[in-house]
Structure 1
Amino acid sequence: MPRKPDPTRKPELLGQILEHLRGRSLATVSFRTLAEALGVSTYVFVYHFGNRAELIAEIVRAVVARNDGLLAVAVAELDREAFEKHLAKVWHDVSTERGRDLHRLELEAALLETVAGEADGTARATVGRWVDHVAAWVSANGVTPAEAKVSARVFVDALFGLQYDAIVSGDGRRASAAYKQAVETLVARPPQR
């Protein structure tokens, strides 16, 4: 009788894979390279992930899921000060070395999804999730939903652009200062409650 699969093994492997990929590209992923890096057999990856495409899909889902906790915050219920604190937490999380590394992987995945024509790709959907998140607060503060979406998109594009800047330039302080200004601009627009 075969052994029952360990339900903790796959998430454990994904965590190890993400740490391994922090300094590498998704393009380098293969069962063989991961097996060598993590000291396991290629069979382990075949067993848990099936094939390379499924492995990449799981990696991308794990990378994108890192922000699920931040996106779960019911921002429409927050006052201005609490929303600013929330956005400060967002920047703190994304601007750590790990946050920048995972954002780089997310950008790579989104570009690969674009080339592959995956309009509803997991990584590509990330920007929309953030726009909806920010727009919820803006519209709850007296801005029409259409205008709130535009304001949110401007802010989210700044957020993603500043993350890109921090990755490419290595100057996190400069990006942090610009992010602070983007937050001030966003929260100054809606009327106070």
Structure 2
Amino acid sequence: MGRPPNPQAKAELLRRAADYVLRQGLTDLSLRPLAAHLGVSARLLLYHFGSKEQLVVEVLGVIAQQQQAALSQVDPLADPAERLDVLWARLTSPELIPFLRSLFEVELRAIDGEEHYRQFARGAIRAWLEVVAAHLREGVSAPTANIVLAALTGLLIDRFSTHEEERTNEAFHALKSALHAGGLL
């Protein structure tokens, strides 16, 4: 008879695996190097998670929770324009780059048709829409929040791939002006 599962050991492995994925990314994720980094065997990872895919799903869940915790703090008394500035500052902080990279990697894999990534991407996008809506004027429609999310996502990809901070900051301020003119801030 095998050992009974140890939830604390699994939780610790999951936390450490999430840290590893945030640093290394998903692109070349392999069980053996991950296990070696964690100081365990690949077999132990399979024991706790069942498959590499399930491990990835659970790791992404941890990453999403950490990301949402970093972004969901909103001052409801602040002016929506100020809230959007706070969101932009958080999104462009160096601390958030690993989270954004993991989200963008998931989205690319979902585009390639990998279903477990597609499921995760759907949930992540819904959570991001809630974050964006919380930073806009109350009552903004879901499609409008989606447009703002798409604009912010595009600016973030642009900023982190080109490292052109000044230009992307100017574009963010132009977006903010358009939102204000449209009565969304």
TM-score of the superposition, structure 2-length normalised?
Answer: 0.75
Taking the TM superposition and a 5 Å limit, the aligned residue runs for 1:164-179 are: 164-179=157-172
SS at match of 2:6: coil
By how many angstroms is 1:156 displaced?
A: 0.8
Aligned match of 1:107: 104
Provide the residue aligned with 2:95 in structure 1.
98
Shift of 1:71: 6.6
Residue of 103, 106, 131 corresponding to 2:129: 131
Instruction: Tell me how large the CA RMSD over aligned residues is.
Output: 3.3
Which 4+ stretches in 1 moved above 6 angstroms? Answer: none
Q: Partners in 1 of 2:99 and 2:184 — Cα distance?
A: 35
The answer to whether the Cα contact below 8 Å between 1:64 and 1:123 also exists between their aligned partners in 2 is no
TM-score, reference length from structure 1 = 0.73
Q: CA deviation at 1:42?
A: 1.9
Counterpart Cα distance in 2 of 1:185 and 1:80: 19
Partner of 1:157: 150
In structure 2, what is the Cα distance between the partners aligned to 1:43 and 1:29?
Answer: 16
In structure 2, list runs of 5 or more residues that go unmatched: none
SS at match of 2:121: coil
State the partner residue of 2:182. Answer: 189
Distance 1:191 1:139, change over 3 A: closer
Rounded to whole Å, the distance in 2 between the matches of 1:155 and 1:20 is: 31
Alignment pair present for 1:86 and 2:83:
yes
For residues 122-171 of structure 1, give each alpha carbon's deviation from its aligned partner in whole angstroms, at most 9, with x where no partner exists. Answer: 12443343335544675735x6xxxx334322211111111111221123
Q: Could you give the per-residue CA deviations for residues 24-73 of structure 1, whole angstroms, max 9, x where no partner exists?
A: 34132122010122322223312321110101111222232233336756
Q: CA–CA distance in 1 between the matches of 2:10 and 2:177?
A: 41
> Counterpart amino acid of 1:174?
R
Q: Which residue of 1 aligns with 2:120?
A: 122
